[in-house]
Chains A and B, each alone.
Chain A
Amino acid sequence: MGRETILELWRYRELLYFFAWREVKVRYRQAAFGAAWAVVQPLLNMIVFTLIFGRVAHMPSEGIPYPIFIYCALVPWTYFANVVGTASGSLINNDSLLTKVYFPRMLLPAGAALAGLLDFVIGSVLLVGLMLYYHVAPSWALLLSPVIIVVMVLLTAGVGMMMAAANVRYRDVRYALPFLIQIWMFATPIIYPMTVIPKRFRLILALNPCWGIVDGFRACLFPGVPFDSRLVGTSIAVAVAVFLAGAYYFRREEKSFADVI
């Protein structure tokens, strides 16, 4: 991305805000529970997973109560999965915008990533409540969580841009993406702790950029979870690479959006 692109994005920053604002405003319109869905979604997931994996399968959880162990991972994961979903459709659902008016196209998937942060914040507030309830105090590593969150947003935006651009040309994305996300979820230590993976496989699995985010997020909050900086570092590097690749692919495809869509 050249300097000019960045300047232009800066000039259009208000539009980014408006896209995010529209997304948020519209999402829960005419939904009886409104924004409560932002809390209910990860909470229900937590309950279901706790029953299946915690109670029935007795999955280890590093000595942390299983509900909060899994919820803590579900907050960033839900952000990632939901935003990649909405971002992937952000171009094709706005085809009239793409063919009728100019603006930096990146703002559409980026708007989805920004809008998702609201749900993330709501989910995090609930997380704080759960930590108080279970008497879990965070460690000093909590200070690192902003870094993890920034990487989470970058990764999500990167994958979102990639999927959005690919979706314009290949509508297959719409069908393949839910499966991809589902498999991705099990490849990420959400329902299980990283420690159940044999040591020699860990570095390979850490190539999954979600790994570092989920495990890093967990390690930031719970003193009992070891913070493996090598694994988290690898994941973060991959996440940044994915972001750059996504942005590059998007920029390359961008010129044909209006013609192909």
Chain B
Amino acid sequence: MLMSAIISVEKLSKQYRIGHIRPTTLPETLTNLVTLAFLRNKSRDETIWALRDISLSIEPGETVGIIGRNGAGKSTLLKILSKITYPTSGTLKVVGRVAAMLEVGTGFHQELTGRENIYLNGSILGMTKKEVNRKLDAIIEFSGVEKFIDTPIKRYSSGMRLRLGFAVAAHLEAEILIVDEVLAVGDAAFQRKCLNTMENLRERARTVLFVSHNLAAVENLCRRCVWIDAGQVRMDGESRRVIEAYMQSMVGQTDASDLDSVENRRGNGKIRFRAVEFLSAEGDAQKVVRAGDPVVMRFHYLASEPVYHPSLGFRMYTDMGTLITETSTWHHSIDIPVLEGEGHIDLEIECLNLLPAKYTLSLWATDDSGMVVYDNVEHGIKLEVETANIYGSGKDIDSRSGIVFFPQKWNLAGTLERRVGLENSAPHQR
């Protein structure tokens, strides 16, 4: 291990009790003690390892992204690094002051004014009163809530509270900054501000640890990335490579698309949908599809007897139930002469221009008149679309920007023409 590491973690493990999480009352503890003593049944307390033998070393000035699935242990790791919780075993060495932003506006009090909360929050995050005094104007300006700064924050909108909280955090001065998912909240303008701030911090050569599901932002901000999986470091290296590998790991997990067990379906059953797969360009089945990627939807069917001239199609809905699109072989006037036995039909999509969100699919198979229903599964299939760098801008574009996006390009040529035009009409100086 290098001597210059600002954070060094060795064989860090954290165990949590689950199920029987904790005795909440004293009598429960007593009964537990008694039962334990008599039954010697110690296996009742199930434990899980949130982290297992994590070793990491981070140099001063590095910006490191931490990615991984929900429950992989990312948050636990951050909590240990920021001393909120303690490891079950292993050692942790942190040099310098740590500022952790695991939540924006921690410790805000409803009854206090914006200004008072700046002092309180700043102090909780480790600022001295002098520091807050010095930065107060900058914080207020950054927050954009000048007008209401002497109003109790219980009158604030959640957006205002968020901006105020982030404004305080953005002015922290610490050697190490730990940021968790802060960017996942707020409107687009706020997110832009957050990203800019993160970039500023990086430029000031502070050490930043950044946990996010927003892979685009991680890729943009961090040169190095650590992938935590099931409590262990699965990969540690250059961001782009780690993120690619992480996305790859999502491939081949198609449990939700198995339709054999779906009971709630209509139709006479001559054709049955058995499964739907979402295939990547390489032909791997994936559980989560990245926005903007090419995808092949593969519909597996079973026709118990020969069925002539059927139509197969699907409807896609948002999770709010809005119909996005319906398409089928009928829409394309494609005649399927006959289906018999097992097989599959593919729908090739060049660019899945859906924004990140969860979608559901309903499938149907009918005769060519649409009068006889062979099979109909309503909302039986889930499709999850993940954030990707769709515009190449590193921005996390998600469902707040709508449902779909189009391949597009902004053209600024018009702004240049206008300036030229003005110059031409103005009298020449020389």
Footprint of B on A, CB under 8 Å?
Answer: 14-15, 18, 21-22, 25-26, 29-30, 94, 96-103, 169-172, 255-256, 258-260
Choose among A18, A256, A258 the residue that contacts B123 (Cβ–Cβ < 8 A): A18
B109 interface residue per 8 A CB criterion: yes
A102–B83 CB distance below 8 A: yes
B39 interface residue per 8 A CB criterion: no
Choose among B26, B83, B103 the residue that contacts A96 (Cβ–Cβ < 8 A): B103
Shortest A162–chain B CB gap in Å is: 14
Cα distance A100–B179 in the bound complex, in angstroms:
11
Shortest B120–chain A CB gap in Å is: 5
B98–A102 CB distance below 8 A: yes
Shortest B102–chain A CB gap in Å is: 5
Chain A minimum-CB-distance residue to B102: A100
A99: chain B residues at CB < 8 Å are 79, 84
Q: Is the interface of A mostly helix, strand, loop or mixed?
A: helix
Cα distance A14–B123 in the bound complex, in angstroms:
7
B111–A25 CB distance below 8 A: yes
Chain A minimum-CB-distance residue to B27: A172
Cα distance A94–B102 in the bound complex, in angstroms:
15
B116: chain A residues at CB < 8 Å are 25
B25–A22 CB distance below 8 A: no
Cα distance A255–B83 in the bound complex, in angstroms:
9
B151 interface residue per 8 A CB criterion: no
A102–B123 CB distance below 8 A: no
Cα distance A169–B28 in the bound complex, in angstroms:
11
B103: chain A residues at CB < 8 Å are 96, 100-101
The 10 A-B pairs at the shortest CB distance, nearest first, are namely: A102-B83, A258-B85, A18-B123, A255-B86, A100-B103, A29-B111, A100-B102, A100-B106, A26-B111, A15-B123
- CB-contacts of B80-122 with A (<8 A): 82-86, 98, 100, 102-103, 106-107, 109, 111-112, 116, 119-120
B82: chain A residues at CB < 8 Å are 101-102
A255: chain B residues at CB < 8 Å are 85-86
B401 interface residue per 8 A CB criterion: no
A103: chain B residues at CB < 8 Å are 124, 126
Take A171-B25, A258-B84 as given contacts and tell me if A18 and B119 are in contact as well, using a CB distance cutoff of 8 Å. Answer: yes
Shortest B84–chain A CB gap in Å is: 5
Cα distance A73–B85 in the bound complex, in angstroms:
42
Chain A minimum-CB-distance residue to B14: A259
Cα distance A209–B26 in the bound complex, in angstroms:
25
B102–A101 CB distance below 8 A: yes
B35 interface residue per 8 A CB criterion: no
Sampled A-B contacts (28; CB under 8 Å): A14-B123, A18-B119, A18-B120, A21-B120, A22-B109, A22-B112, A25-B112, A25-B116, A26-B111, A26-B112, A96-B107, A97-B106, A97-B107, A99-B79, A100-B84, A100-B102, A100-B103, A101-B106, A101-B124, A101-B125, A170-B24, A171-B25, A172-B25, A172-B26, A255-B86, A256-B86, A258-B79, A258-B85
Cα distance A99–B100 in the bound complex, in angstroms:
11
Shortest A17–chain B CB gap in Å is: 8
A97: chain B residues at CB < 8 Å are 106-107, 124
B22: chain A residues at CB < 8 Å are 169, 260
- Number of B residues whose C-beta is below 8 Å from A? 31
Residue from A22, A25, A30, A171 whose CB has the most chain B CB atoms within 10 Å: A22
A94–B86 CB distance below 8 A: no
B16 interface residue per 8 A CB criterion: yes
Shortest B14–chain A CB gap in Å is: 9
Residue from A15, A94, A102, A103 whose CB has the most chain B CB atoms within 10 Å: A102
Chain A minimum-CB-distance residue to B110: A26
A259–B124 CB distance below 8 A: no
Take A26-B109, A98-B84 as given contacts and tell me if A171 and B100 are in contact as well, using a CB distance cutoff of 8 Å. Answer: no
A15–B124 CB distance below 8 A: yes
A30–B29 CB distance below 8 A: no
Chain B minimum-CB-distance residue to A99: B84
A170: chain B residues at CB < 8 Å are 23-26, 29
B32 interface residue per 8 A CB criterion: no
Shortest A39–chain B CB gap in Å is: 22
B100: chain A residues at CB < 8 Å are 100-102
A30–B102 CB distance below 8 A: no
Residue from A100, A103, A172 whose CB has the most chain B CB atoms within 10 Å: A100
Cα distance A21–B98 in the bound complex, in angstroms:
25
Given contact pairs A21-B120, A171-B24, a sample of 18 additional A-B residue pairs in the complex whose CB atoms are under 8 Å apart: A22-B112, A22-B120, A25-B111, A26-B109, A30-B111, A96-B103, A96-B106, A96-B107, A98-B84, A100-B103, A101-B82, A101-B106, A101-B107, A102-B82, A170-B24, A258-B84, A259-B85, A260-B22
B129 interface residue per 8 A CB criterion: yes
B253 interface residue per 8 A CB criterion: no
Residue from A14, A21, A258 whose CB has the most chain B CB atoms within 10 Å: A14
Chain B minimum-CB-distance residue to A30: B111
B128 interface residue per 8 A CB criterion: yes
Shortest A22–chain B CB gap in Å is: 6
Shortest B95–chain A CB gap in Å is: 15
Residue from A18, A103, A171, A259 whose CB has the most chain B CB atoms within 10 Å: A259
Chain A minimum-CB-distance residue to B129: A14
Cα distance A170–B29 in the bound complex, in angstroms:
9
Cα distance A247–B245 in the bound complex, in angstroms:
49
Cα distance A98–B22 in the bound complex, in angstroms:
17
A14–B128 CB distance below 8 A: yes
B109: chain A residues at CB < 8 Å are 22, 26
Shortest B177–chain A CB gap in Å is: 13
- Chain B 122-159, CB within 8 Å of chain A: the 1/0 string? 01111011000000000000000000000000000000
Cα distance A94–B108 in the bound complex, in angstroms:
10
Shortest B181–chain A CB gap in Å is: 12
A171: chain B residues at CB < 8 Å are 24-25
Shortest B131–chain A CB gap in Å is: 10
